[in-house]
Amino acid sequence: MSTQFDQIAEHAAADGKVTPEEVLQLRRECWPDGIITRAEADAIFALNDKLTERGPEWTEFFVEALSVFTVMQLEPKGYVSQENADWLVARIDHNGEFGSMAECELVVKIFERAKNVPQSLKDWVVERMEDAVLNGTGPTHRGGQMEKGNVTAAEAQILRRAIFAPSSARPGGVGRSEADLLFRIKDATLHADNDPEWKRLFVQGIASYLQGFHLPNAQISRERAAELDIFMADTSRSVGRFVGRMAKASPNVFGQVFGKRGTDASMEDRIVEAEKVTTTEQAWLDGKIHADGEVDEYEQALLDFLAEG
């Protein structure tokens, strides 16, 4: 980082905040090319740790700069490496919780921006999001408040962004670990003054897990993406060999793009089939609902929604 950054960091350590003017200086002088090095990323995190006040200008800079560093600066772009995932967790995990809402916003942004992240990061985020929603306090980046012991509209919004993000357990939908998370939060805040948006998210999230359609190959690993990038860059391969490799590597995608007529009907059948609750899913749902021997208002709303479908 530049001398200018050092001066701003020194000033922030003294009064606990970075002014909008200082954030603009950071953008102009410390990040003019859109490239962030590991040393610069560490310096940004260190400065964030010193702040007692984090205005929207700082949070936006913090989230933008570090999400670009984590997701977009290593090939193949759009995938978080295991090294970067481990670094991110080490920088953020303050005694098992987010140190600031800026860090919570950063993690959600990474999941929205990335095509995929390591499983270890997915598991860690589920744990941290639960703690943030149940125990977090203070203003969020996009307005609203986080309150301990209940679910506010702002908390429901940030939770929705996290579990439906492209890099979540099920891209654009809800996976088993996230459905378990929704039930745990529901049980912990059952009689609290929750915002109506929370009940809506609970019902939609669990229904997505039970009835949502997703392609098994919707996500590929960073390693597989790198292999495909190398293959695509190899101009010595023939078109025939390319089509053959594509058909083997990504049969779902290949069928949709190159398939014969009638594949749309097949896809419709698969969507209809996904809407049916399987025996395994029903057993999971029954176990959740009957765990305490009664059906609460959230569970009833879910059952009513499923019955309407």
Please check whether residue 145 is in contact with residue 193, taking contact to mean a CB–CB distance below 8 angstroms.
Answer: no
Report which of 65, 46, 51 is spatially closest to residue 12, judged by C-alpha positions: 51
Please check whether residue 14 is in contact with residue 53, taking contact to mean a CB–CB distance below 8 angstroms.
Answer: no
pLDDT tens digit string along 86-120?
A: 999 999 987 667 777 889 899 999 999 999 999 99
32 versus 283: the higher-pLDDT residue is: 283
Report which of 192, 135, 131 is spatially closest to residue 162, judged by C-alpha positions: 131
Residue 143: Cβ within 10 Å count: 10
Strands (E), the chain: 93-94, 97-98, 138-139, 145-146
Specify the pTM: 0.76
Give the pLDDT band of residue 35 (cuts 50, 70, 90).
confident
Q: Find all residues with CB under 8 Å of 243, minimum gap 6, and list them.
A: 258
Report whether pLDDT(71) > 90: yes
Three-state secondary-structure class, residue 134: helix
Helix (H) or strand (E) holding 229: helix 222-233
Mean pLDDT score, 225-232: 48
Q: Find all residues with CB under 8 Å of 45, minimum gap 6, and list them.
A: 66, 91
Give the pLDDT band of residue 258 (cuts 50, 70, 90).
very low
**What does the DSSP 8-state code read for residue 164?**
T
Please check whether residue 16 is in contact with residue 50, taking contact to mean a CB–CB distance below 8 angstroms.
Answer: yes
Please check whether residue 199 is in contact with residue 296, taking contact to mean a CB–CB distance below 8 angstroms.
Answer: no
